[in-house]
Chain A
Amino acid sequence: MNVEWTFIERGITAAVIVGTMAPLIGTILAVRRSSVVSESLSHVTLTGISAGVLLSQLAGTEINPLYTGFAFSLIGSLVIEKLRQLYPDFQDLAAPIILSAGLGLSALIMSMSKSGYGEWYDYLFGNIVSVTRGDLQFIGFTAGIVILLFFLFFKEIKAVSFDKEYAQVSGIPLSLVNFLFSLLTALVIAMSMKVVGILLVGALVSLPVASALQLSKSFKQLLVWSVVFGEAAVITGVFFSYHFNIATGGMIVVMMSVMLAVVVVWSEKWRFSD
């Protein structure tokens, strides 16, 4: 690809890639009943990003904050697992602890660094116009890894997600698959960030899946519907945000909420008349 893309082309490509990846990982998170994990990890990613920005300022070298964000989010996912073991009776405490820790640190780093608010809002709420060539390379590369790992270990991931005991008995290395999954989640969050922003990554991971759950009867259907809803929301969201000059991440999420509302109302009605 020698042709230099315009910023709009770069942004839309990034959005379309993310629109498939996030719902794909989201289905497994939903089935594992840990949709909330993505929410906390995205906040830890924010810490990594603010740390990256601060480091670049202090060291004077250019570090793409996406990489530090990814590293933090991976560490965060490991700490969550550890915390779940520390609070066996209150497993749901792990996610909020990590979430607050991540945000607290980011708030501190953001106030210390000398950048203006504008740059932080890009990371918080997304700004697809700001997708650089390096970012697009990162997104494409990580998307490749995610697809590869996802289909290579599809059977293992599915087995572990649906029936832990059975998977363990049949010799699937549980901790390895769990780690793999943390890795996938961290990757998807880091790559979605430029498009929808940290505060909205959770939406991309959970809302399309929530709509798909209402319609699907099998796991395969769930995967397909989630991706369809994800892409539909991303494309319409980008379109409307461009035409009405509204923050892209917000518009994508609003499209997802609207779709979810329609699906929920429709399937409730249909269920009653059936």
Chain B
Amino acid sequence: MLAVFLQYSFLRYALIIGLLVGFLAPVLGVFIVMRRQALITDALSHITLTGIAFHLLMAQSLTVLQPVNPVYMGMGFSVTGSLLLERLRHVYASYKELAVPIILSSGIGFGVVFLSLADEFGSDLFRYLFGSIIAVTSQDALVVSLIAVIVILFIIFFYKELFFLSFDEEQAKINGIPTKTINFLFTVIAALVIASSIRIVGILLVSSLMILPVAASVRLSKSFKQMFVYAFLFGELSVAVGLLTAFYFDVAPGGMIALTALLILGIVIGLKKETH
């Protein structure tokens, strides 16, 4: 099975991207879960859909846009969306949790309108929603590798600040950490990772790759570092098993990856219960 996988170049590139995002998504997910913002990933990924839809609509009249990958527009939208999200949290000071559903649902609403104006309800849309391993190019792999380098550098440089912010935002502010800047950078990074995962996992399932491995590792780990290690292992395992089985059974890779991550979570919850 693996031999077939390595034979075709697009499958090789899909595997490379998969393994990269299988590492990036859960590692960022650890920070996101610790900050109790698990749902932000869903909001950002849904806004990415709006961006992609907007690009498809614009590309019909602006030929300059046609060769450009719609995912870039998606990234732009997702960063803008995250800024709006912060703003809404201030508007709804006593109902902060409303901000996420507002952004998430408006995002899809506008996305659907753009798509229907562009008349793009075809199999391409399905690919964006649930991921695909078909026709992954070397350029895709290159872009994701580049993003991976940026993300890793960001985490290494700002590890202390991110760590601090995840546990105690107030304290971090008092200690003179530029919380606003770090928060903004973190959101941009999250948007980048989400956009790179979309190719393989699909918009609707990005959050499962970011959150499920972390949810499993929360139950096993005793320290922050352990959480990273487990999240990383579970993430890679989900992607590897998910991609191979998706190819073998000819189903959407995003679904297979999410289900593998879910299975791992189920096993972890079951095991932990017995030891109690």
Contact = CB atoms under 8 A, between A and B. Distances in A.
B122 interface: yes
A100 B207 contact: yes
B110 A257 contact: yes
Contacts of B126: 117, 120
A30 to B, nearest CB: 6
A199 interface: yes
Interface in B167-214: 202, 204-205, 207-208, 211-212
A193 interface: no
Interface string B123-143: 101100111000000000000
Question: Which of A103, A105, A206: most chain B CB closer than 10 A?
Answer: A103
Nearest to A264: B91
Contacts of B211: 93, 96-97, 100
A36 B95 CA distance: 12
Contact of B101 (A39, A197, A245, A251): A39
Interface in A50-107: 86-87, 90, 92-93, 95-97, 99-101, 103-107
A110 B130 contact: yes
B251 interface: yes
A157 interface: no
Interface stretch (B31-39, B67-75, B146-154, B228-236): B31-39
A183 interface: no
B254 A104 contact: yes
Contact of A254 (B104, B113, B115): B113
A35 B101 contact: yes
Contacts of B205: 100, 103-104, 107
Interface of A: 30, 33-36, 38-39, 43, 86-87, 90, 92-93, 95-97, 99-101, 103-108, 110-112, 117-118, 120-121, 124-125, 197, 199-200, 202-203, 205-207, 209-210, 213, 245-247, 249-254, 256-257, 260, 264, 268
B112 interface: yes
Interface stretch (B2-10, B157-165, B256-264): B256-264
B56 interface: no
Contacts of A30: 95, 98
A100 B108 CA distance: 17
B252 A87 contact: no
Given A107-B205, A254-B109, A99 B42 contact: yes
Given A107-B251, A108-B252, A207-B102, A33 B39 contact: no
A162 to B, nearest CB: 13
Given A33-B95, A35-B97, A121-B121, A111 B108 contact: no
A206 B108 contact: no
Given A210-B92, A247-B113, A254-B113, A108 B259 contact: yes
Given A35-B98, A104-B259, A107-B131, 10 more contacts: A36-B39, A36-B97, A39-B42, A87-B218, A104-B256, A104-B257, A108-B251, A117-B121, A200-B105, A246-B116
Contact of B110 (A92, A125, A197, A254): A254
Nearest to B218: A90
Contacts of B98: 30, 35, 206, 209-210, 213
A84 to B, nearest CB: 13
Interface string B243-270: 0000000111011111101100100010
B255 A105 contact: yes
A111 B33 CA distance: 30
Contacts of A256: 106, 109
Contact of A107 (B41, B102, B106, B258): B258
Contacts of B24: none
Contact of B41 (A96, A117, A206): A96
A209 B91 CA distance: 14
B218 A247 contact: no
